[in-house]
Amino acid sequence: MAARWAVLGLLAACVASAAKESVLNMCMDAKHHKTKPGPEGALHGQCVLWKDNACCTANTSTEAHQDQSYLYNFNWNHCGVMPEKCKQHFIQDTCLYECSPNLGPWIDQADTSWRRERILNVPLCKEDCELWWEDCQDAVTCKENWHKGWNWTSGTNRCPRGFMCQPFKYVFPRPADLCEKIWSNSYKYTTEHRGGGRCIQMWFDPANGNPNVAVAKYYAQNGRDASPAPRAVLLLLLPALLALL
């Protein structure tokens, strides 16, 4: 019996190590993501940063740049035309979400009809969040959580009755409010800086490599708060545990 538990302990350690590695290059199970990341030489516009290894297709990257694309029928201009400098951040946010293979440590289960998985509390670099807020503070919206609560009767998102359009700086008084609230805590505001290996960058120079590879590796090894890669660990460990019972 002692030998059996020793083998089980060794197996668990090996599986945990393998699970950490598995989240370093993966795509979430969502509406437009590929099943596995790989090269996409024809990625469009701002999404080109991920052309060497992407979870998005060229068509998805093109649609990410549209004011109202078929991806989610979401209209950035629901309270008037969004300023171009602000829109660039939302395009980059979409490219990161759709294309990045480095978000594995933050993938969680989702309870929606259009995706099985989502990202949660991705540690966004201070500069990325604050520049996003700075460039969007005079844009206008009627809601702080853009994931839910819209009027979809027309087929696209419209402000619900009773919700007033107002500048971002009133809806999101601080950069952290914007980055954390707008997509239901998909991102987490941090004081970590670009290049430090502890935060995810929406913007980077691909000529210098993808800095998010090292960030994902750090959090896979040290945990996304408490425990790394819950899905990968469970899927890999469960068959072995059942066989030994």
Q: What is the pLDDT of residues 154-172, one digit of tens each?
A: 999 999 999 999 999 999 9
Residue 205 lies in a domain: yes
Assign 68 a pLDDT band (cuts: 50, 70, 90): confident
Whole-number Å distance between alpha carbons of 118 and 140: 26
Residue-level pLDDT at 219: 96
Contact 46, 88 (CB under 8 A): yes
Residue 17 lies in a domain: no
Residue 10 lies in a domain: no
Assign 70 a pLDDT band (cuts: 50, 70, 90): confident
Whole-number Å distance between alpha carbons of 90 and 199: 18
Q: Could you report the per-residue pLDDT of 5-43, keeping only the tens digit for each?
A: 443 343 344 334 444 557 889 999 988 999 999 999 999
Residue 16 lies in a domain: no
Could you tell me which residues are beta bridge partners of residue 119? 107
Burial of 207 (0-12, 13-18, 19+ CB in 10 A): exposed
Residue 4 lies in a domain: no
Residue-level pLDDT at 157: 95
**Mean pLDDT, rounded, for 201-218:** 96
Tell me which of 37-41, 99-103, 231-235, 237-241 is least confident: 231-235
- Closest residue by Cα to residue 103 from 43, 176, 177, 183: 183
How many structural domains comprise the chain?
Answer: 1
Whole-number Å distance between alpha carbons of 233 and 6: 19
Residue 2 lies in a domain: no
Residue-level pLDDT at 240: 54
Residue-level pLDDT at 242: 54
Residue 27 lies in a domain: yes
Residue 12 lies in a domain: no
Q: By residue range, what is the domain housing residue 161?
A: 23-243
pLDDT exceeds 80 at position 229? no
Tell me which of 28-32, 80-84, 146-150, 193-197 is least confident: 28-32
Find all residues with CB under 8 Å of 229, minimum gap 6, and list them: 19, 20, 22, 23, 104, 105, 220
Please report, for residues 36, 160, 225, the alpha-carbon distance to residue 179 in angstroms, rounded to integers and kept in the order given: 27, 22, 18
- Closest residue by Cα to residue 50 from 38, 34, 68: 38
The mean of the pLDDT values for the chain is 86
- Closest residue by Cα to residue 114 from 35, 31, 32, 27: 31
